[in-house]
Amino acid sequence: MIISTDKKIAVFMVPKTGSNTLRLAFKSSGLPLKLCDDSHYDYGTLKHLVDDNPLDYRCFGFVRDPLSRCISTLNFLRRGRQGCKFIHAMYGNEYPVSCASRAPYSEWDDERKALVDRVPMIEVFRRMKWFFERNIYGTSHKIFLDGPVELLNFHDYNNELAKLFTIFGVEDPKTIPVPHVNGSLTIPEFDYLSPQEEAEIRDYFSEDYDFLASKGIRFS
């Protein structure tokens, strides 16, 4: 969470909505802030982080199409630094990989890349549902944003971030460097989801879609 006690502003960092980029950008801004690193606090915990009334704060949070957020998480699982866990989940002991190895995908050998890239995206989703159910990456937006929170559109990230910096009092948001975190974790060109597979994932996140709809946000 990013907090300005001076201006009474708080930004909630919803997992897989550019929260790492958001944190690093604000850290480099030079603004007097309270940064709760490595934490994705929700609206209800703001009262534990400030000494004054949390209801006096203007709060913000990014929202992202749950389908897009899911795909981002799946790529994080199979092509990120936790890829060793993905390989173990998919192949067991057939291809032993040391969990101590946290090298990025670009540094993997061809065999290891092939192990993760050959698995269709929908199969990754079906086999890794437990991951969504056990940690914050699959948690609904509702957990973080169910309160008087102004919602920002992840799919217009740069413009929304510039608007956010302006609200924090930055005269020229273009002077704030915006790092590209996890930008390399994209879907391989040969990998895609069919309309039926997309519908399967959307149905899985139906409660999240319903919550966003209650806030007036709908994704086609």
Task: For residue 193, give both structure tokens.
Answer: 């989801």
Helix, strand, or coil here: 108? Answer: coil
pLDDT at 197 over 90: yes
Give the integer Cα–Cα distance in Å for 151 and 62.
Answer: 6
Q: Residue 169 has what DSSP assignment?
A: T
Task: For residue 38, give both structure tokens.
Answer: 């490595």
Which residue, 29, 45, 55, is CA-closest to 175? 29
Bridge partner residues of 12 (DSSP): 61
The DSSP H or E segment spanning 55 is none
Q: What is the mean pLDDT of residues 201-206?
A: 94
Q: Residue 144 has what DSSP assignment?
A: H
- pLDDT: is 185 or 133 the higher one? 133
The pLDDT score that the predictor gives to residue 82 is 65
- Tell which phi-psi region holds residue 61, choosing left (phi > 0), alpha (psi between -120 and 50) or beta: beta
Give the integer Cα–Cα distance in Å for 78 and 124.
Answer: 8
Per-chain mean pLDDT for the chain: 82
Helices and strands: H and E segment counts in the chain: 10, 5
The pLDDT score that the predictor gives to residue 98 is 63
pLDDT in tens, 77-128: 887 766 777 777 778 777 766 655 567 777 888 888 888 888 888 988 998 8
The DSSP H or E segment spanning 85 is helix 83-91
The DSSP H or E segment spanning 12 is strand 9-12
Task: For residue 163, give both structure tokens.
Answer: 């608007």
pLDDT in tens, 147-191: 889 999 999 998 999 999 999 988 888 888 777 655 545 555 456
pLDDT at 63 over 80: yes
pLDDT at 217 over 80: yes
Q: Determine the straight-line distance between the first and last CA of the chain, rounded to whole angstroms.
A: 29
pTM of the model: 0.84
